[in-house]
Structure formats: structure tokens, C-alpha cells
Amino acid sequence: MYAMLTTASRTGESQDGVDLMCANQFVAEQIKKALPEIRKKAQIFFRRDIQIRILLQESPQQAERKPRPSEIRANVMKSPVVKEILSEFNGVVKDVKSGE
């Protein structure tokens, strides 16, 4: 339980409780399973009822995500320049690599 809680970050707090942000679905589910025990320990420690809300961190935006090889190939094949070169030289695309 402690290992799971250390991966979460506190994102906010109010008079009645705290918000914990989890990086992925698995950690969020594991913490939710242990939530009754966590709340009980928090009540004992703080000597009052504490509400704990588990939030899931938003996934990275599409632009930040590294494109898959199939996406790179599809984008290259859509290019008018590539289409023109392939038709001019009767070419075939065998491999596509990212420019990074």
C-alpha cells in the first residue's frame, strides 16, 4: 500500500480532504482498493474524518506522443512530393524512418 501511495502526488487539499493524482490507471485502481484502510489510518492520524479523492492524470496530448511507425508511413505516403517521385521513377517505398 505504501509503495502505491508514494507514486501518487497531492494536487489539492481542502478542509474536508485531499486530492491524489495518479499517473496511470493501474495505480489509481490499487489505491482505490485500499482506500477504506487508507481513510481509517488517516482518521486515526488526523483525529478527524478525511476525504481522499483519487484522480487520474490526463494522458499526454497527441502532439507530444511519439508517432507509431505505421502512422509515420501513412503520413509519408500522403505527401504529394512522395507520390510524384514514386510515379516518376516507378518507385516503391520499402522502409520509412522518422526524421528524429
Q: What is the pLDDT of residues 21-79, one digit of tens each?
A: 888 888 888 888 988 998 898 888 888 888 888 888 776 554 467 778 888 888 888 88
Regarding whether 65 and 48 lie in a shared domain, the answer is: no
Determine the Cα–Cα distance for residues 51 and 45; give it in Å rounded to an integer. 13
Number of domains, the chain: 2
Query: Do residues 38 and 72 both lie within one domain?
Result: no
- Kindly state whether residues 10 and 46 are assigned to the same domain: yes
Whether residue 14 is predicted with pLDDT greater than 80 in this model: the reply is: no
The residue with cell 516503391 is: 92
Cell of 33: 482498493
Query: Do 72 and 90 share a domain, yes or no?
Result: yes
Same structural domain, 49 and 31: yes
Q: Do 16 and 41 belong together in one domain? A: yes
